[in-house]
Amino acid sequence: MMSLQARELSAFVAASDPAPLLLDVREAWEVALARIEITGAHHLHIPMAQIPQRLAEIAPAQPVVCICHHGARSAQVVAFLLHHGHAEVYNLAGGTEAWSTQVDAAVPRY
């Protein structure tokens, strides 16, 4: 499984062509509380439990970075997407917690 460290994410977005999809798999209340926004990336929120039903919304050829609170749920979604033919899928190691503590303290911790 490929993963990205929080400090690598912005550079990855800037260097990617096509632009990557930041797929937030947390619950709606979590996204409302704290979200990662990076210019140049596409952002999509699909709670982990809805991924199988909404799989068609995720283009198989687009790079995808899966995001959750600490990285466990997003790792499961990475495995699911790889199993379903997505070629370039990454897990954000440490999730929004790592982003908040290592990159952008303005993103609330919870």
Q: Find the mean pLDDT for residues 92-102.
A: 98
**Strand blocks (E) in the chain:** 2-4, 21-24, 42-45, 64-67, 89-92
pLDDT at position 85 over 90: yes
pLDDT at position 97 over 90: yes
pLDDT at 63: 97
pLDDT at position 102 over 90: yes
Mean pLDDT over the full length of the chain: 97
Which tokens hold the place of 7?
């400090």
pLDDT at 65: 98
- Cβ proximity of 68 and 33 under 8 Å: no
With cut-offs at 50, 70 and 90, classify the pLDDT of residue 1. confident
Domains of the chain and CATH, by start: 2-102 (3.40.250.10)
pLDDT tens digits, one per residue of 13-54: 999 999 999 999 999 999 999 999 999 999 999 999 999 999
Question: Does the pTM exceed 0.85?
Answer: yes
